[in-house]
């Protein structure tokens, strides 16, 4: 089955600021939030960016044995939820951690799932760590782990889905959870 094409703003092959560990960051194109002071305003236009086949991203992931995870950022990943969910499913098969940034809160995503938004449930289910909430310029802080404004939360998605409410991610609990892919000596 061929995966759906993604509209991207770009890909950062290695990052240590977009989630725990060494990760690739995939920037989706298109965002309905238009947050004042957005770090990536060029990602807002849903017709901007470029089309990319997810297989290209997966090949790049497979070529880097140091990657511990992949981050979906934007733009708004839930704007292309089906496409990111498909990519996320393939990434999870590789045993990698997924962080998703969203301008929606966890509760808004759950409401969207209940309202039947296509792909939202699947995208949330492949996400390990959700950075939720719009960026609020007045609450900007450079001292926050993996987020830009104080209102944004780091949500442990598996625990949140299990408990039926947003459960904050605790980096101390999670240290050592990310596994290193072993480089092949062949």
Is the pLDDT at 178 greater than 60? The verdict is: no
pLDDT at position 174: 62
Contacts of 73 (CB under 8 A, 6+ apart): 18, 25, 26, 27, 28, 40, 100, 101
Positive or negative, the Cα torsion across 60, 61, 65, 67?
positive
Is the pLDDT at 12 greater than 80? The verdict is: yes
What is the average per-residue pLDDT within 179-183? 43
The model's confidence at residue 175, banded by pLDDT at 50, 70 and 90, is low
DSSP string, 139-182: GB-TTSSS-SBTT-EEEEHHHHHHHTS--B--HHHHTT-SPPPP
Is the pLDDT at 179 greater than 70? The verdict is: no
Question: Could you report the per-residue pLDDT of 105-114, keeping only the tens digit for each?
Answer: 999 999 999 9
What is the average per-residue pLDDT within 131-138? 97
pLDDT at position 183: 41
pLDDT at position 76: 98
Mean pLDDT of the chain: 92
- Give the CA angle between residues 18, 19, 21 to the nearest 5°: 115
Q: How far apart are CA 142 and CA 145, in angstroms?
A: 8
């Amino acid at each position: 089955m061929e995966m759906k094409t993604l509209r991207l703003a770009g890909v950062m092959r290695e990052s240590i600021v977009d989630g725990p560990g060494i990760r690739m960051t995939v920037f989706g194109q298109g965002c309905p939030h238009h947050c004042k002071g957005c770090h990536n305003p060029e990602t807002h236009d849903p017709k901007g960016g470029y089309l990319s086949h997810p297989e290209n991203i997966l090949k790049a992931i497979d070529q880097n044995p140091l990657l511990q995870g992949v981050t979906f950022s934007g733009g708004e990943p839930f704007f292309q939820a089906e496409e990111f969910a498909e990519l996320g499913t393939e990434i999870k098969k590789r045993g990698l951690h997924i962080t998703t940034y969203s301008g929606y809160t966890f509760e808004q995503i759950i409401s969207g799932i209940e309202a039947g938004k296509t792909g939202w449930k699947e995208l949330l289910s492949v996400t390990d760590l959700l950075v939720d909430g719009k960026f609020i310029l007045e609450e900007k802080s450079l001292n926050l782990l993996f987020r830009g404004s104080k209102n944004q939360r780091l949500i442990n998605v598996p625990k949140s889905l299990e408990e039926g409410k947003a459960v904050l991610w605790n980096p101390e609990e999670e240290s050592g959870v990310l596994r290193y892919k072993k480089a092949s000596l062949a």
